[in-house]
Amino acid sequence: MVSENKSWFYRGMQHGIPIALGYLAVSFTLGIAAKNAGFTPFAAMLASFTNNASAGEFAGFTLIASGASFFQVAVMELITNARYLLMSCALSQKLSPDTPLIHRFLISYDVTDEIFGISVLVPGKLNPWYVYGAMAVAIPGWSIGTFFGTMMGSLLPASVVRALSVGLYGMFLAIIIPPAKKSRILAGVVLLSMGLSYLFTKLPYVSSLSTGTRTIVLTVLIAGGAAVLFPREEPDDES
């Protein structure tokens, strides 16, 4: 059992390295936002270590820079990061029913978009040590990137900072394209989600919602509709 867990841990580290490299680049921008909010490099790194969420952190740093109250920051963080509640519920279905509660708590600490993406694609049940391996490289990448971004501040040209953020979109494409190529239904759902996401940024009333709220609404509508229209049959124990 120990050797199996070790194997899953190393596999998670291997799959987490591209995520860590992307985080290292993208979090530079976050570090600059932290510097504008008055954070020291260490404080910014600590914020990234304890709150692994790009949109949530950026919203928090922006509110802090504007002098918002603790209550306002707390409410914004709840709204912006609420989509992780849905991801956690979905990821819990990948775990074996006898998975100890401590493992569930530890996994929940870093349910980011990218780690969630590679975890749900693991064939069969999810071994917690796979997630730990991915977390072991992804969390330092995100935290250290924020640290150096705060140190560099506004020294980097704006064009370079914008170019670094492209890495995150590359990771998303790497997650969704391989399974979408194997399933027309999944490919259609991905294209539909892209179209509706863009539409939601333009429609009146809906566009005024926060990014996190729009993400929750779209996730419930699209995932729920796909589950009803194209249900997946669970394999029996023998298969």
If asked whether residues 187 and 162 sit together in one domain, one would say: no
The domain containing residue 237 runs over which residues? 183-239
What local confidence, expressed as pLDDT, does residue 235 receive? 53
pLDDT tens digits, one per residue of 145-178: 999 988 886 676 667 656 655 655 665 676 678 8
For the chain, percent of residues with pLDDT exceeding 90: 24
The answer for residues whose C-beta is within 8 angstroms of residue 5's C-beta and 6 or more apart is: 127, 129
Asked which of 126, 144, 168 is the last residue of a domain, the reply is 168
Highest mean pLDDT among 7-16, 26-35, 201-210: 7-16
For residue 238, what is the DSSP state? -
Highest mean pLDDT among 18-22, 57-61, 129-133: 129-133
If asked whether residues 134 and 192 sit together in one domain, one would say: no
In a domain, 148, yes or no: yes
If asked whether residues 29 and 119 sit together in one domain, one would say: yes
Asked which of 142, 168, 194 is the last residue of a domain, the reply is 168
If asked whether residues 196 and 141 sit together in one domain, one would say: no
In a domain, 175, yes or no: no
pLDDT tens digits, one per residue of 95-144: 988 889 999 999 999 898 889 989 988 888 999 999 999 999 999 999 99
If asked whether residues 137 and 196 sit together in one domain, one would say: no
With a threshold of 0.85, does the pTM exceed it?
Answer: no
**Structural domains of the chain, count:** 2
pLDDT tens digits, one per residue of 195-236: 998 998 898 888 887 666 777 788 778 878 887 888 766 555
If asked whether residues 147 and 32 sit together in one domain, one would say: yes
In a domain, 173, yes or no: no
Residue where the block lists tokens 């510097």: 35
In a domain, 177, yes or no: no
DSSP output for 118-147: HHHTSSSSPPHHHHHHHHHHHHHHHHHHHH
